[in-house]
Each structure stands twice: as structure tokens, then as C-alpha cells.
């Protein structure tokens, strides 16, 4: 009798210590799954340490599109002693836990874990098999092989990926890895055919998926930066912005850009502004406290009207906070950073396509208005992967806003819209003079208070046009709604999937329709946001922070107060299940579904 049979949407979680090669499994499986024709989503959560700790990667494999984190674990691959304990809150009676006998034994013997833990345990001789091949380092590839077998992934696809990945490590290691994969397939086959511990997975493959893109949030943003003509990036490594730095540094040769690891974030943003002053589209990437160091430079961008793109990968603060976790806590920091008053734009992508387009537009708008433009990402968004059909490459169009200067060029000539045509040094005969002090139209320092007023007005006047250029929010669902769910940035897919689940289960009666409004430009807001909010009878907002920062900005910008807030700030992203449960409450519907094993996670009203 089969212990486990699962169709359509499978959540596999791999858990082990840092250094055990879980990311390798993630990469191999994600590719193998996509090449087989299944939809894939993966996300990881990890501790801030180089070795040890407990890290897990969730891989969702589905017959339909998936792009969000779920609490549910269908199969847990436990690769360390602590794995089961680490995930015990997410293990349900339906979870199959596969692991080495030793790891499973230790979990079973632990009072702390096994009491109340009702799951199915399947032992496979993982460590012994790895030792036989050449060492426990091969355990990860064995796991990848076993899962690939269960998922019916053709062996040639698997072997091809192993070869791509390990060929550069030499023939001996490659041979061992191929052997490890083979051993994994054998173990997997054993599980499929086992009488007592049978595991069967059944998914529908789609040939179209094979040709789709498999990207992370970082990849999509990085490609957007390249599309936007980024030529210069200076930054200081900081999780979770480092992957974007690595992406652009890795593409620097092909795309003719300069990446410089600065001595600190202060140097980073000042370098970016220098390069931008000399005409190169420039950016920095950082996170919370690194960005705090850049704030003075943000003011300099504002005063000198120098374009710069700031990618801010959010993680929990204050100070160093939880370095490897996720949050949406730095919206206020971005909005209010820098001394004095000047315009800015803040984007927050929620899906890969948006990350690409918004990043590209960030460069264009920074140049158009000569202002800092922010891309607010976060750990969850930066690190997750999923497949999409394509990126809107054809829509990429970069305007060139630089002019050749004449001898009488004035860098801060006051114009009707506040935007002075932008010259750069060495292009034309004019002098390009910028100053962090208040300055006259030529750019020279001044203490003339009348000029001061004119210059403040000039800078702020741009805001009228920036508002007109604001990107409209995306409404998911019917125009004819009574309930409105609000989200911004990376919460897009968890909210969307939760609502779709509610609809699919038929829990949502038509009388009070519920739609979802996603803000991808969080500042300044598009004028339609007010209309959308006014039309709703009830509104709830979901944010990965403790104070409802977006709700407060909405109130500030529209005068409308959002009463209901679902806030999560324990460092983890929203799961589909918890969003579903909370939205059912919001909609006044009792949750009678079977997936009600989510735990409180720091949310308040």
C-alpha cells in the first residue's frame, strides 16, 4: 500500500547544514525539473553562518505555474541531525520525511521533536552510499538523483546537468558525481517500487515549459539594470544585495561596465555619483545599514541633481538585524533618506517581469529627472527562482538625455519643469559645475536666499511630472470588488495564490467580490490608487514589517486610512497558507480547509 501519492503540486524541502551542498541540489533540480516540463519555484531560508546551522530550500514542482512560498512540506529530505527539529512546525501528518537512518533515528529519539510529530519516515542509506562512492560530499548529488527519479526526470537530462556542473572539477570528480546520481536514481526507484514505503509522484509535464526562462529575482533585476544601460556599479558586499553585485560584476566584461568594490558604502555612493556626473549610468546595491551609510550621498544626488539608481535589498533591522532573513522594513528609510527636500522615485518589484522592467526604467527615469531612483527588493525576492515564458525585451528603449554643452552652458538653468538639460564634462565646450552647497544657475556656491528659494522650487517642480509618470498599480481580479487586498513588492505571488486558492475552493461567494491591488511603484503613488481605495468597502494590507509603513504612506499621500493590516516581521516571507487564512477572516469566511497547520509568526492585527 502506498504511503504517499501526490499529484499536481509538490513541495519538497531539503534541509541540512551550510556547506552540505544543498544549493547544488537546488540548482540541479530546478534545471532538471524545468527541462522535463514541470513548473518550478524555489526559495531558500538560511542562517548567517558559513558552515553548520540549519538551512533549507523549498522546491515546488507543479503542473501549473507556481511562484510563492508555502509552509506545506510534502517531502522533507533531511540531510543533517538538526533538520527535522528545524522544520518541525511545518511538518504535518502528510509529510514524508526521507533521510539517512542515523538522522531519522536521532529525530525519533528526541522527545522534543517526536512528541506531537506525526509524519511518515522513510530511511535511505544516504551516507553509506556516499561513502562507498568516495565521501559524504556526494550525498547531495545522491539526493538530487533520488528526487529526480521520483519526479520521473529523464536520466539523460539529469546526467547532462551533472556534467555541465562538475566537468570543470576534473574527470574523477565528474565520474563520482555521475555515479552518485546513478545511486540516487536506484534509491529513488526503490522507493517507487517499495511495498511498505512507496512514494509516487505524478505530475503533468508541458513541453512549453522546457523553453521558458528560469530566473531569480536577482537575475531579473540584474538584466533590467543591463537593459537600462548601467555602466558603473560601486558597492560594498552585503546580504542580500551581494548576488546583484555578483551578477553585474560577472557580466561587466560583456556589457562594458565597471564594477568596483568600494572600501565602504559611503565611498560606493560617492563613486556612483562621480561616474554619473561624468555621464555613465550608475548604481549602487546595498541593504539596510549599508544604505544608512549612503544617506548623505542620497542628499548629494538630490542637491547636485545627479542621477543614480539605488538597489536596496531589504532584510530585518534595526542595525544588523537578521542578516539572512527577509523584510519590507526599509521603505521609510528609502523615502526619507538624505537631508533636505528633493524628489525621488521608489519601485518595488513583485514578480520577475516587473523586476526587469522597473530596473530598466529606474535608469531611464533617474536620467530623465536627474534624481535618485530606488529599487526596493528583499531577501525573499532576490533569492527565489521560478520559470516564466519571457522578459519584455522588445519594450526596452533607453532615451538619451545628455546634451552637448555650449560655452554659455548653465547646469542649473531654471526651466519651466525644473529639469535642466544635462551636460557632462568633456562633451561640448561648456563647464559643468555641480555643488553640494546651494548654488546658482551656473552651479557656483551661493548664499543668496532668493536664489535658494528658486532652486528648491526648481528641484521640487520635477515632482509634478514624476507623479504623472508614475506607474499604475496592478489590479488582480474583478473591477467590481467590495473587498480590496493591498500588497507591495515581493508579497505579490503569495497574496495572489492565496486568493486564487480561495476562489478555486469556492469559498468566496460572489456577493462581495475580493480583488488584489499590487503597488510596484510605492512612491510617488499613481493617482489611481486613491480611486481604487475609495471604491472598496473594506481594505486590508499585507506587509513584511511591524508598523505598516506602506499603509502610512498611503494615508499620507491619499488621506485614506487602512484599517486592517496583516503584518509579519519575524524574518520569513508570507506563506500562501497564512495569507489564505487571514484573507478568509478578512472576507468573513471561516476556514474549514485541511491546510490549517500554520503557526503564529509574529503577526499582529
Partner 1 sequence: MKPRDFDLPDADVAWCPGCGNLSILRSLKATLAELEIQPENLVFVSGIGQAGKLPHYIKGNVFNGLHGRSLSPATAIKAANPDLIVIDVSGDGCMYGEGGNHFMHTIRRNPDITNLVHNNMVYGLTKGQASPTSQRDFNTPLQVDGVFLEPFNPLAVAIALDASFVARAFSGDRKQSIEIFKAAINHKGYALVDIFQPCVSFNKVNTRDWFREHTYYLEDDHDPQDRNLAFQRATETGEYPLGIFYQNPDKSTFEENLTVYRDEKTPLYQRKLDKDKLRALVESKR
Counting residues that bind partner 1 (by CB under 8 A) gives 66
Secondary structure (3-state) at 601: coil
Give CA–CA dist 44/23, Å, rounded.
9
Question: Considering only residues 266, 414, 471, 476, which one is a binding residue for partner 1 as defined by CB under 8 A?
Answer: 266
Chosen residue from 145, 323, 430, 487 binding partner 1 by CB under 8 A: 430
Residue 217 Cβ vs partner 1, minimum distance, rounded to whole Å: 13
By CB under 8 A, the residues from 381 to 400 that bind partner 1 are: 390-391, 393, 396, 398
CB under 8 A: which stretch of 37-45, 81-89, 272-280, 594-602 binds partner 1?
272-280
Among 427, 547, 558, 593, binds partner 1 (CB under 8 A): 427
All cell numbers assigned to 163: 556534467
Q: Is 251 in the site for partner 1 (CB under 8 A)?
A: yes
Pick the closer one to partner 1 by CB: 127 or 366. 366
Only one of the segments 142-150, 424-432, 463-471, 597-605 lies at the binding site for partner 1 (rule: CB under 8 A); that segment is: 424-432
Neighbours of 506 (CB within 10 A): 7
Q: Is 277 an interacting residue with respect to partner 1 (CB under 8 A)?
A: yes
Find the binder of partner 1 among 211, 341, 457, 561 (CB under 8 A).
211
Q: Which of residues 436-475 bind partner 1 (CB under 8 A)?
A: 436-437, 443-445
Strands 213-216 and 9-18: unpaired
Is residue 243 part of the contact set for partner 1 (CB under 8 A)? no
Among 53, 237, 421, 428, interactor with partner 1 by CB under 8 A: 428
Question: Are the C-beta atoms of residues 287 and 322 closer than 8 Å to each other?
Answer: no
Q: Please list every residue from 476 through 535 that binds partner 1, using CB under 8 A.
A: none
274 binds partner 1 (CB under 8 A): yes
Which x/- pattern, by CB under 8 A, does the window 50-89 give for partner 1?
----------------------------------------
Q: Of these, 87, 183, 248, 273, which contacts partner 1 (CB under 8 A)? A: 273
Based on the shown chain and the rule CB under 8 A, indicate whether residue 233 belongs to the binding site for partner 1: no
Q: Which of 61, 433, 499, 522 binds partner 1 (CB under 8 A)?
A: 433
Query: Per-residue x/- mask for partner 1, residues 552 to 591, rule CB under 8 A?
Result: ----------------------------------------
Report the residue from 267, 309, 419, 498 that binds partner 1 according to the rule CB under 8 A. Answer: 267
Residue 392: all three cell numbers together: 519584455
Question: Rounded CA gap, 600 and 8, in Å?
Answer: 28
Count of C-beta atoms within a 10 Å radius of residue 593: 14
| Interaction between residue 125 and partner 1 (CB under 8 A) | no
Please choose, out of 104-112, 251-259, 462-470, 546-554, the segment that lies near partner 1 by the rule CB under 8 A: 251-259
Neighbours of 479 (CB within 10 A): 9
Backbone angles phi, psi at 360, to 5 degrees: -65, -45
Residues 283-302 binding partner 1 (CB under 8 A) are: 296-297, 300
Report, in Å, the least distance between residue 140 CB and partner 1.
Answer: 23
DSSP notation for 241-301:
THHHHHHHHHTTTTTT-EEEE-SSHHHHHHHHHHHHHTT--EEEEE-HHHHHHHHHHHHHH
Separation of alpha carbons 406 and 423, rounded Å: 9
Angle (CA) 229-281-302 rounded to 5° is: 140
Residue found by looking up cell 533549507 in the block: 56
Minimum Å gap between C-beta 300 and partner 1 is 6
Q: Which helix (H) or strand (E) holds 107?
A: helix 101-109
Specify the 3-state DSSP secondary structure of 54: strand
**Out of 27, 275, 294, 576, the residue judged to bind partner 1 by CB under 8 A:** 275
User: Strands 385-388 and 213-216, how do they pair?
Assistant: antiparallel
Query: Of these, 7, 132, 263, 408, which contacts partner 1 (CB under 8 A)?
Result: 263
Give the separation between CA 18 and CA 56, rounded to whole angstroms.
Answer: 9
Residue 10 DSSP one-character state: E
| CB contact at 8 A, 280 and 272 | no
Of these, 402, 413, 556, 604, which contacts partner 1 (CB under 8 A)?
Answer: 402
Rounded to a whole number of angstroms, the distance between the first and last alpha carbons of the chain is: 45
Instruction: Note whether 314 and 471 are within 8 A (CB).
Output: no
How many beta carbons lie within 10 A of that of residue 450, not counting itself?
8
313-328 per-residue burial string, b: 16 or more CB within 10 A, e: under 16: bbbbbeeebbbbbbbb
Distance, in Å, from the CA atom of 197 to the CA atom of 201, rounded to the nearest integer, reads: 13
Shortest Å, Cβ 42 to partner 1: 14
Residue in 12, 127, 227, 519 binding partner 1, rule: CB under 8 A: 227
Contact footprint for partner 1 (CB under 8 A): 211-215, 219, 223, 226-227, 229, 231-232, 234, 251-258, 260, 262-264, 266-268, 270-275, 277-280, 282, 296-297, 300, 304, 390-391, 393, 396, 398, 402, 424-437, 443-445
Amino acid at each position: 500500500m502506498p504511503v504517499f501519492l501526490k499529484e499536481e503540486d509538490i513541495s519538497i524541502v531539503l534541509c541540512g547544514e551550510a556547506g552540505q551542498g544543498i544549493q547544488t541540489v537546488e540548482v540541479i533540480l530546478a534545471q532538471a525539473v524545468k527541462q522535463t516540463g514541470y513548473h518550478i519555484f524555489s526559495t531558500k531560508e538560511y542562517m548567517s553562518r558559513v558552515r553548520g546551522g540549519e538551512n533549507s530550500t523549498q522546491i515546488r514542482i507543479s503542473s501549473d505555474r507556481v511562484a510563492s512560498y508555502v509552509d506545506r512540506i510534502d517531502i522533507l529530505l533531511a540531510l543533517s541531525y538538526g533538520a527535522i527539529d528545524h522544520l518541525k512546525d511545518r511538518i504535518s501528518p502528510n509529510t514524508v520525511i526521507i533521510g539517512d537512518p542515523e538522522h531519522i533515528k536521532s529525530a525519533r529519539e528526541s522527545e522534543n521533536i517526536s512528541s506531537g510529530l506525526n509524519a511518515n519516515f522513510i530511511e535511505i542509506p544516504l551516507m553509506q552510499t556516499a561513502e562507498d562512492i568516495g565521501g559524504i560530499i556526494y550525498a547531495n548529488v545522491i539526493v538530487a538523483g533520488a528526487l529526480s527519479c521520483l519526479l520521473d526526470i529523464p536520466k539523460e537530462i539529469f546526467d547532462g546537468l551533472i556534467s555541465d556542473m562538475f566537468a570543470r572539477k576534473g574527470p574523477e570528480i565528474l565520474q563520482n558525481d555521475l555515479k552518485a546520481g546513478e545511486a540516487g536514481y536506484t534509491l529513488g526507484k526503490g522507493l517507487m517500487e517499495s511495498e511498505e514505503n512507496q512514494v509516487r509522484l505524478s505530475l503533468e509535464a508541458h513541453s512549453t515549459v522546457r523553453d521558458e526562462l528560469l530566473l531569480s529575482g536577482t537575475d531579473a533585476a540584474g538584466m533590467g539594470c543591463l537593459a537600462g544601460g548601467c555602466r558603473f556599479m560601486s558597492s560594498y558586499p552585503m546580504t542580500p544585495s551581494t548576488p546583484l553585485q555578483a551578477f553585474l560584476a560577472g557580466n561587466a566584461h560583456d556589457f562594458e561596465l565597471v564594477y568596483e568594490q568600494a572600501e565602504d558604502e559611503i565611498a560606493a555612493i560617492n563613486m556612483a555619483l562621480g561616474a554619473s556626473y561624468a555621464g555613465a549610468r550608475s548604481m549602487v546595491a546595498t541593504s539596510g545599514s549599508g544604505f544608512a551609510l549612503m544617506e548623505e550621498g542620497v542628499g548629494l544626488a538630490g542637491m547636485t541633481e545627479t542621477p543614480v539608481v539605488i538597489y536596496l535589498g531589504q532584510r530585518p533591522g534595526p542595525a544588523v538585524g537578521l542578516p539572512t532573513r527577509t523584510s519590507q522594513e526599509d521603505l521609510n528609510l528609502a523615502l526619507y533618506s538624505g537631508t533636505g527636500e528633493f524628489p525621488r522615485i521608489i519601485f518595488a518589484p513583485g514578480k520577475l517581469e516587473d523586476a526587469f522592467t522597473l530596473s530598466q526604467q529606474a535608469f531611464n527615469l533617474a536620467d530623465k529627472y536627474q534624481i535618485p531612483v530606488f529599487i526596493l527588493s528583499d531577501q525573499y525576492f532576490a533569492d527565489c527562482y521560478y520559470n516564466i515564458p519571457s522578459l519584455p525585451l522588445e519594450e526596452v528603449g533607453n532615451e538619451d538625455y545628455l546634451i552637448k554643452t555650449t560655452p554659455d552652458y548653465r547646469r542649473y538653468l531654471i526651466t519651466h519643469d525644473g529639469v535642466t538639460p544635462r551636460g557632462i564634462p568633456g562633451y561640448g565646450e561648456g563647464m559643468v559645475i555641480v555643488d553640494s552647497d546651494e548654488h546658482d544657475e551656473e552651479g557656483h556656491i551661493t548664499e543668496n536666499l532668493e536664489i535658494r528659494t528658486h532652486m528648491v522650487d526648481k528641484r521640487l517642480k520635477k515632482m509634478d511630472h514624476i507623479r504623472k509618470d508614475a506607474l499604475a498599480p496592478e489590479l488582480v481580479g474583478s473591477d467590481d470588488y467590495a473587498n480590496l487586498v493591498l500588497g507591495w513588492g515581493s508579497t505579490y505571488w503569495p497574496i495572489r495564490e492565496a486568493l486564487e486558492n480561495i476562489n478555486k475552493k469556492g469559498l468566496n461567494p460572489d456577493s462581495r467580490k475580493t480583488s488584489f491591488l499590487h503597488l510596484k511603484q510605492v512612491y510617488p503613488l499613481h493617482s489611481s490608487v486613491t480611486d481604487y481605495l475609495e471604491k472598496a468597502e473594506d481594505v486590508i494590507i499585507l506587509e513584511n514589517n511591524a508598523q505598516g509603513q506602506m499603509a502610512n504612506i498611503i494615508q499620507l499621500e491619499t488621506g485614506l486610512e487602512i484599517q486592517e493590516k496583516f503584518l509579519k516581521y519575524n524574518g520569513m516571507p508570507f506563506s500562501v497558507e497564512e495569507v489564505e487564512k487571514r484573507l478568509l477572516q478578512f472576507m468573513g469566511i471561516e476556514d474549514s480547509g485541511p491546510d490549517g497547520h500554520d503557526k503564529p509568526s509574529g503577526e499582529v492585527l
